[in-house]
Structure formats: C-alpha cells, structure tokens
A and B are shown apart, each in its own frame.
Chain A
Amino acid sequence: MESLTENSKSGFAFGGSRESLTRRDALWLAAGLGLSFALPGLDLRAAETRGGERPKSLITLWMAGGPSQLETFDPHPGPRIGGQTKAIDTKLAGLQVSHLLPQTAEQVHEMCVIRSMVSKEGDHERGTYLVKTGYRPDPTLIHPSLGAIVAHELPVAGVEIPRHISIMNSQWPSRGGFLGDDYDAFKILDPRQNLQNMKAKVDEERQIRRLNDLDVVERTFRNRRRIQSDATLHQETVRRALTMMTSEQLNAFKVENEPAEVRAAYGDTPFGTGCLIARRLVETGVRAVEVTLEGFDTHAKNFPGHVTNCAILDPAFAALIHDLKQRDLFESTVLLWIGEFGRTPAINPLGGRDHWPTGFSCVIGGGGFKSGLVIGETDPEGKKADPADPIEIYDLYATILKTLGVAYNKELTTPIGRPMALCRGKPIGRLLV
C-alpha cells in the first residue's frame, strides 16, 4: 500500500523542464525561488509519437445537468416516451441514435455505446460526484475525480502546463480530493478568450526585484507557520504560474494555428473550440482534459433544450472522433462522453424530463477500447426503471484506468489514515481490445 501523504510531498501535478539554463531559469535563480530544473524533461519526440507507442490520455466530454438518453444515444420514438425525437441509423447494425446528432451518427461506430449506465444519485451535486469519482459522496473524505487519478498516477516529465485541465464553466469541476488540491483541474472558463494574465506588467529587472522581495515577505509568514503555509500551496502555485507564463506549451491553446477547415468542423462555439483545444492539449502531453457543456437540466421544454445543445455537441463530438483518428491519436486517447445522469422517460406537464439515474447513456472509445460495441437496453415503453445489462460507473472507470495503465485497485492511505482503492470497480473485459 502506498502512503499518499508521503507521495504528495513531492508529487505535484507538474513536471520540470529539461532545457538547460535559459534566460528564464536565470531570472528565477536570481530571484532565489530555487526552482529545480534538474528533472528529466519531456522527450521532444514524445510529442511526435503516435499510435500505441504514445502515453495515454483521457478526454471527457461532460454533459452538465444530465443529458436525456432519449434525445441522444438511446431514442425510443413513439407516443409514450419518445417525444419529438426521431431515430436515425448509424454504421452499426444494432444502433440508432437521435436525429439531433446526424454528424456523430457517422462517427459513433468507432466508439462503444452503453445505454444502461446506473447510478444511485439523483441530485445534481451528488450525481456529479458519483459519476466523476466512481464513489458516492462520503462526509469524511473527498474522492479524486477520474482525471485527477490519471494525472496523479501517470506523471509526465516536461509538461509545464497543468496536466489536468477543465475547459468551459463548470459548477463542479473535477477535483483532486484526497490526492490534494494540486490535482484539481486547471480551469479555462472561456476557451475563446485565449489565456489571460500571462505576461508580467513590469520589465525583467523589476520582476526580479519583486520576486526577491516576495521571498522576504514569505519567509516572515512561514516562520512558525511552516506546515500550514506549505499546505496552502500558495508559493508552489506562484511558481507554477511563473512556469506557465513562460512556457512554449501555451501554444496548445492557440487554435488560430489550426487550419480554418479544422476549426470549422468543430463548430463555431466555445464548446467546439474547447474540444479542439482538448485535442491540442493531449498532443502536448496533458493527461486529462474535461470539456463541459452545460444546459442539459431540462425540467421544462426538454426537446427544444436538446435541439439547442445537440447543435453544439454534434459537430464537436463528431470532429473530435474524426480528428483523433486522422492524427493517429485515437489509440492513445480515451474519449468519454457522459453526464451525471439521464432524464425520465415520462415527459412532465412542462414538456420537460426530470432526473433519471437508472438506465442512462454513455459513449466511450479510443485508447484500447473496442470499436462498435453496444451494451444495454432500456424499456421502449419507459415502464421498467432498470435497464438490461446494467453497468456501474465504478466498473466503467476500472476499465478506463486499466487501459490507461493505472493499477485501478491500488490502495492509497488517505490523509485521515483510511485506506482507499483508486477505484472500487472491476474492469469490463468485453469493452477492451
């Protein structure tokens, strides 16, 4: 069993840089920040590596609010529960999807569709917690999200930008939990605004003086507050911000470097841009990226709500699958589409659908998953709550962790001394190649 507290002492979700002494290093060494660049850096060829040779990453498309399975990957057209949604064919014999996703329908055969996800939480916050971590909320500790586990367990040297990134506004972005706040997702609220506040406002000489001065002030505060002060990670965060400010890897955020047709394929929306950035980040070596699309909590006017949201989702999702295949990144990138739960088969008097944590859909693929597998079935009449062949979140996550090369059942000693497995599930063998 690995002791987490030991591990977290040095295990930041950040790598060092291999470059020998650059102007930047000189700046900081002068500023007494004692940054260590002795760590082995990112092998430049690693960024160029393709196919199965590449270290694996995870992209999660998070559908906040709970997308309706009936309007996405599990349509049941008909008067009782179908609403206005029609079903269209895909390249897979046994799979039809909603007519709101025509472009995704062309690509989804590369992925697996699970129509029988089950959860025990019907509240947004608790449901999000369960689906992001694989554990039910526990008052005594906070479990790390899947992305945080991946960043923690699969360190990559040489990545100067955060290894766990959340794109778009999200009410409950993925967290490091007991792995530590430094595994929290780095939040990019608006992917189209580019990165803000990345340049120092003063010249180099003054910047050096400022950083030197900061050392003096920090020393005073840390004196007799050593443990608490270190636990705030404030100074570490300052260092990381400085690293990031001068990193060439920031180019990953510059979608203007992409050909116009690629940008157009993802759709001219913040979410589409976010998906494109996610691909670029994965290429740079970022381990886990989550892109959030909000607005699925359609208690009223479910169908128009899904028309709007699917118009954003469809080109982006389809383009991402296609692009990962094109660039030979599909084998090394697990792509997950999921939300905190699904929506009720019954349509309420407001034309809405309510929360439905039993029998909702998820799409998973890439990174060692099979292509074209369809699992589970829900009642076309919406009478039976429980789907055929139910799949638990934690089993899905054990499968994802396994294919990423993480010992999914490894136990860590949490800061409160309680041993906790990274994931309590068992891999679903039939999903993997």
Chain B
Amino acid sequence: MSPFRHLTKLLPLVVVCAVATIVAMAARSPLPPAARLPEVGVEVSDLKPAVARVDAELAARWKAANIAPAGEAPELQILRRLSLALQGTIPSLEEIRQFESDDRPDRLEHWTRRILADKRFADYFAERLARGLVGKEDGQFVIYRRGRFIDWLSEQLRENTPHDEMVRRMISESGLWTGNPAVNFVTAAINEGDVDENKLAGKTVRAFLGQRIDCAQCHDHPFEHWKQQDFEGLAAFYGQVQQSIVGVEDRPVRDGKAVEYEIEDRKTLETRVVPCGVPFHPEWLPEEGSRRARLAQWITNPANRRFERAIANRVWGLLFGRPYDEPVDDLADPDDEKQDLLDVLGKDFREHNCDLRRLIQVVAGSVAFRRASEFELPADSSRSFGEELAALKAAEGSWAVFPLIRLRPEQVIGSIFQSSSMQTADQNSHWVFRVLRLAQGGQFVREYGDLGENELQDRGGTIPQRLLMMNGELASGPSGGVNPFATLIASTWRIAAMASTDESCVETVYLVCLTRRPTGEELSHFAEQLKGKQKSERQKIVEDLVWTLFNSTEFSWNH
C-alpha cells in the first residue's frame, strides 16, 4: 500500500490547518501603514484643478439659490460613504485603524485611490454599472451570461479601459457570449432566437445617452423631441443582428437578399421597411462599418454631449445614491447656451480619455460629497413640517447637504458580514459577490427587497425590512455556508472578550457597526450596562448593543 494514500486522506485536514495558521498569522501581523498600500488613478495633486471647477459650479448654484451649505462631514463619515459606494460595505475596523494612522494631508483622496486599486471596487462597481446596462435578471441562460458580462466589466475597470471604448464594444461586439463577453449587452435582448431591436434601441439610448425614447415605440415622446420615427430608425441599427452557433453577428445579406429591418405598422398592420436613422446630428454617423459599429461611433462621438452627461450623472448617482439629475435616464436635451455641473464633469471626462476612475475621484473629491448630512433650520415654531421638508428638499436638491439614502440590500448584508469579521474581508477575492451568491445572502436580498434596475430611485424603508433586521434568522441552508447573524454573534463574543475596559468595548462596537465613536451620552449609557458584568451576561449586553446599532436609522441609511 502506498504511503501516499494516507497523505491523500489527510490532505483536507492539512489544508484546513494551513488556512487556519495563515488566518491567525494575518490576524496578529501588524497592519501595513496606509502610505504603503497600493494606489491607482489620478495623482492627488493633479486632481485639484478639476475638483475646483466642480466646486465653483456648486458654489455658484448655492449662491444663486441663496442656500447656505452644510458644514464639512467628519472624515470617518466620508470614509463610510466611499466604502459603501465603491465596495458595497462599511469599512472594516482594520481599515478604520489604517486610515486613522495615515498622517499625510489629503488622506481621503489617498484612500479613494487605494479603494480604486482594490479588486473589490472593480467587482462591486461592475455590478452596479451592470444594473443600468442589462438589468438584474439572468435572462436566457444559454445565450446570455450575466456573470461573464460583469466579470468583463470588472476587468475593464481594473485595466481602466476608456469608457467610450467599453461602450463601443458593448454595442458592436460580435461572437460568442462566453469568449466575447461584451456581446452580452446584445444577447440580453434575445428571446428564443428573436432579437428584440426595440428593447436594444431603448436600452442603448437610456444607458448611454441618459434619455428615454422607449415610449416613442408607440407614440411621440410627450415632452422631448423624440418621434416614433426616431425610435424605429435607431432600432434598425440592430436590424441585421443574427444569432447562430458562432454567436452574434451582423448579416447584411441573407440568401442573396439584403437584410432589411421590417416592422409591422401598429395602425395598418402592414409590414414596412425601416431604414437606419439617427434623430440628430447625422454627420456624426460614419459611412463605413457594420450598422452597430456605426451606431456605436455616433453614440460616443466626441461632440455628443449626451454621452458624457449620461455617465457623469450615473457615476454621481452611484456615489451619492441619487443621480445629479433625476431620473438617471431621463435627462433633458443638453442646452446649447448653458453648461451645468454635468457638463463640467463631462468635459473633464472627455478631455481625459473618458477615464472612469478620474470621474469617480473628481465626484468623490467634490465639496458636495464632503458635506455633512446634518441640516437644521433656525428655530421657528410657526413653520409647518411641510415647509421644513420643502426647505430641506431645496438644500438636498442643490447638494448643499448630503442626502440620507437608504442602503441597498447588498450593502446592508455586506455591512453585516463586514461587521462580523472586523478584519477587512479578503481583499483579493470576489468577496461581496461570494456573499451574495450564498443562499443566505441571496435570501436576505430577496427578503429585504431588491430595487432591480431602478436602483437609483429614492425609496423609503419598509416594514418587512425592519422585521427582517429585528427578528430575522437566516438559517444555514442544506449547502451549509455562513450564517451572517451567527457569525456576528460570535464576533461580538470576541469584542466582549478582547476589550480592556467597558468603554473601549462600547467604542469598538460603535466603530465596527457605525464607523464612528459613541457620543458621551451613548458611551456612558452602554458602559453603565456593562459595569461589573461578566461572561455570558456581558456577551448578551454586547449582542443587544449590536442589535440596537443595526436597527438604527444611522445603520440603514447612508448619511
């Protein structure tokens, strides 16, 4: 009998021990100083002029509206905003310590660059962008792989592919959904072999130009200049798309005959040929190339302001949780006379090779992103709640105060996982997505309620969410896996055991759950409860404290 057979049997055990040792070592090793963490993106000093232009635009807006902006938010609060927007979780205790030990000026700008270098950013941001591009549904499995598409987007973000190039590939890519994942933008609109040109036309304009023409499918747009003819003309660019064993391709000729885009007239029920056509600036349309390649060039043409305004508005929305202009895909036509903040951001974006990282850095560095979320009108008892609300909405609407935005379900579950681990969840893996793919994570998101494609609409919380957060128990399914609430309770035991004093115990739980230190009132309230308590009684108090913080407004809303 070979001695190796015993070794093979022992292998799983060896692996478990090795992993445990590595984890333990990692836990004990001193934190690398923030200054030595990898950073990517635009150098902090090079960013300043662009941020200053954005700030000037905002300042002018506030002045014109006679609005006094809120003060500067505490740094840890901004850190929390950055982590939630770019990584999908609150920062870990480890990250908070690293950040606080950084004594460079502009440490928030450096931290933004650090996040951009983190693979969690690429994975999370790809998922967020994908919502606007292909929605959240998994579609027809065989021809459409949402997962591959997101992996591709993530790769482009890591390589910092210029955004216009990414978009051109999505619109015009040919081939198989597996080998050429950008083509999934098109295959997402294929149903049982039938290409839905209407869906593609609507989606192209919504996702890349930030405007809605879908309603022009049946009638002229009630507010803008879109005509039914415009819609049909755009759909015709997808009219030669064919799906076969080699994947998606454009076939200008089939069986010796030119392939034309034909539709049935809604009124006469007769078939008619629709030629390709664009609703404005036909001179941007190149003569050569496949229909889709020409459309892609037209969409991304450097003079097409709608393109950069759309992405600026979306990135703003992903960072704040609310787009600069609502809804995110129904922007008014750009004004030839006037420029607004989206134009300022868009111009900078275009001048720097459609650099998404830079756009994120500029928005995150802006004066608006750093405003406090506190807003209080001078005391006046004669004002009604409605009037106060209107004043608040005016301030929030002009970004003079940071809006309270409900966390997305995956941000909530991601934050619960993050709190339960204290250390930064594995930086080198698809961590957030592994969590989401776990039965429990998925169940949580379903129960909490996913907003799907309309993720940037401002919605309030719901009773089922509160019931889930207060009483929920995500049981381990048959596949096993991690139960976030069980892990969380285990980690509160560690906190309770590790802290040297009652006060430091309370402070640690606050940092872990809310990314801030307790106020004096809070500290004394909770330290009092812990005073003289031992072991299981102490653990219960810490457990209840975690429950309390998780059920607070502060935890469930970005602020």
Q: Give the complex CA separation of A425 and B327 in angstroms.
A: 27
Q: Which of A65-73, A84-92, A218-226 contacts B (4 or more CB under 8 A)?
A: A218-226
With known contacts A123-B217, A216-B522, A232-B557, A241–B548 Cβ distance under 8 A:
no
Chain A residues within 8 Å of chain B by Cβ, number: 70
CB–CB B552/A221 < 8 A: yes
Q: Give the complex CA separation of A77 and B387 in angstroms.
A: 59
Q: Contact mask A189-200 → B, CB, 8 Å, 1/0?
A: 100000011111
Q: Give the complex CA separation of A302 and B315 in angstroms.
A: 40
A residues 194-215 near B (Cβ < 8 Å) are 196-202, 206, 209-210, 213-214
Q: Give the complex CA separation of A171 and B137 in angstroms.
A: 12
Q: Give the complex CA separation of A245 and B467 in angstroms.
A: 8
Q: Contact mask B170-195 → A, CB, 8 Å, 1/0?
A: 00000000000000000000011010
CB–CB B472/A197 < 8 A: yes
CB–CB B470/A200 < 8 A: yes
Q: Does A251 contact B (CB under 8 A)?
A: no
CB–CB B463/A228 < 8 A: no
Residues of the A chain whose Cβ atoms lie less than 8 Å from the Cβ of B225: none
With known contacts A5-B384, A6-B386, A232-B461, A241–B330 Cβ distance under 8 A:
no
Report which of A9, A201, A217, A225 forms a contact with B548, defined as CB distance below 8 A.
A217
Q: Give the complex CA separation of A122 and B218 in angstroms.
A: 6
B223 nearest in chain A by CB position: A139
CB–CB B519/A206 < 8 A: no
Q: Contact mask B4-33 → A, CB, 8 Å, 1/0?
A: 000000000000000000000000000000
With known contacts A120-B219, A206-B540, A231-B392, A244–B385 Cβ distance under 8 A:
no
B555 nearest in chain A by CB position: A217
Residues of the A chain whose Cβ atoms lie less than 8 Å from the Cβ of B404: 225, 228-229, 231-232
Q: Does A238 contact B (CB under 8 A)?
A: yes
Q: Does B222 contact A (CB under 8 A)?
A: yes
Residues of the B chain whose Cβ atoms lie less than 8 Å from the Cβ of A184: 460, 462
Residues of the B chain whose Cβ atoms lie less than 8 Å from the Cβ of A121: 215, 218
Q: Give the complex CA separation of A136 and B279 in angstroms.
A: 24
CB–CB A244/B219 < 8 A: no
Q: Does A331 contact B (CB under 8 A)?
A: no
Q: Does B336 contact A (CB under 8 A)?
A: no
CB–CB A214/B552 < 8 A: yes
Residues of the B chain whose Cβ atoms lie less than 8 Å from the Cβ of A228: 373, 375, 392, 396, 403-404
Report which of B464, B540, B547, B554 forms a contact with A186, defined as CB distance below 8 A.
B464
CB–CB A226/B376 < 8 A: yes
Residues of the B chain whose Cβ atoms lie less than 8 Å from the Cβ of A383: 269
A residues 75-101 near B (Cβ < 8 Å) are none
Q: Give the complex CA separation of A215 and B269 in angstroms.
A: 64
Q: Contact mask B143-186 → A, CB, 8 Å, 1/0?
A: 00000000000000000000000000000000000000000000
Residues of the B chain whose Cβ atoms lie less than 8 Å from the Cβ of A122: 215, 217-219
A354 nearest in chain B by CB position: B264
Q: How far is the CB of B270 from chain A (nearest CB, A)?
A: 10
Residues of the B chain whose Cβ atoms lie less than 8 Å from the Cβ of A380: none
CB–CB A385/B470 < 8 A: no
CB–CB A225/B373 < 8 A: yes
CB–CB A233/B373 < 8 A: no
Q: Does B424 contact A (CB under 8 A)?
A: no
Q: Does A162 contact B (CB under 8 A)?
A: yes
Report which of A8, A201, A229 forms a contact with B471, defined as CB distance below 8 A.
A201
Q: How far is the CB of A7 from chain B (nearest CB, A)?
A: 9
CB–CB A237/B462 < 8 A: yes
Residues of the A chain whose Cβ atoms lie less than 8 Å from the Cβ of B406: 232
CB–CB B461/A357 < 8 A: no
Residues of the A chain whose Cβ atoms lie less than 8 Å from the Cβ of B222: 136
Q: Give the complex CA separation of A299 and B374 in angstroms.
A: 50
Q: Does A16 contact B (CB under 8 A)?
A: no
Q: How far is the CB of A372 from chain B (nearest CB, A)?
A: 33
Q: Give the complex CA separation of A171 and B192 in angstroms.
A: 22
Q: Contact mask A110-128 → B, CB, 8 Å, 1/0?
A: 0000000000111100100
Q: How far is the CB of A62 from chain B (nearest CB, A)?
A: 18
Q: Which of B49-57, B232-240, B286-294, B445-453 contacts A (4 or more CB under 8 A)?
A: B445-453
Q: Give the complex CA separation of A6 and B390 in angstroms.
A: 12
Q: Give the complex CA separation of A210 and B526 in angstroms.
A: 11
Q: Does A410 contact B (CB under 8 A)?
A: no
With known contacts A238-B466, A350-B194, A220–B519 Cβ distance under 8 A:
yes
Report which of A8, A221, A355 forms a contact with B554, defined as CB distance below 8 A.
A221
Residues of the B chain whose Cβ atoms lie less than 8 Å from the Cβ of A255: none
Q: Does A415 contact B (CB under 8 A)?
A: yes
Q: Does B393 contact A (CB under 8 A)?
A: yes
Q: Does A54 contact B (CB under 8 A)?
A: no
Report which of A9, A189, A229 forms a contact with B385, defined as CB distance below 8 A.
A9
Report which of B214, B264, B472, B551 forms a contact with A346, defined as CB distance below 8 A.
B264
Q: Does B544 contact A (CB under 8 A)?
A: yes
CB–CB A123/B462 < 8 A: no
B467 nearest in chain A by CB position: A197
Q: Give the complex CA separation of A199 and B473 in angstroms.
A: 11
Q: Which 6 A-B pairs have the closest CB atoms?
A: A5-B386, A181-B460, A122-B218, A234-B553, A241-B466, A224-B374
Sample 19 A-B pairs with CB under 8 A, ordered by A number.
Answer: A4-B386, A200-B470, A201-B471, A202-B544, A213-B526, A218-B553, A222-B553, A228-B375, A228-B404, A230-B385, A232-B460, A233-B460, A237-B466, A240-B463, A244-B463, A300-B191, A300-B194, A345-B269, A383-B269
Question: What 14 new A-B contacts, CB under 8 Å, besides A196-B467, A217-B548, A355-B218?
Answer: A120-B218, A122-B215, A186-B462, A210-B544, A210-B551, A220-B521, A222-B553, A224-B375, A225-B374, A227-B375, A227-B388, A229-B553, A232-B406, A241-B470
Query: What is the interface of chain A, defined by CB distance below 8 A to chain B?
Result: 3-6, 8-9, 120-123, 126, 136, 139, 162, 171, 181-182, 184, 186-187, 189, 196-202, 206, 209-210, 213-214, 216-222, 224-235, 237-238, 240-241, 244-245, 299-300, 345-346, 350, 355, 357, 382-383, 385, 415, 417
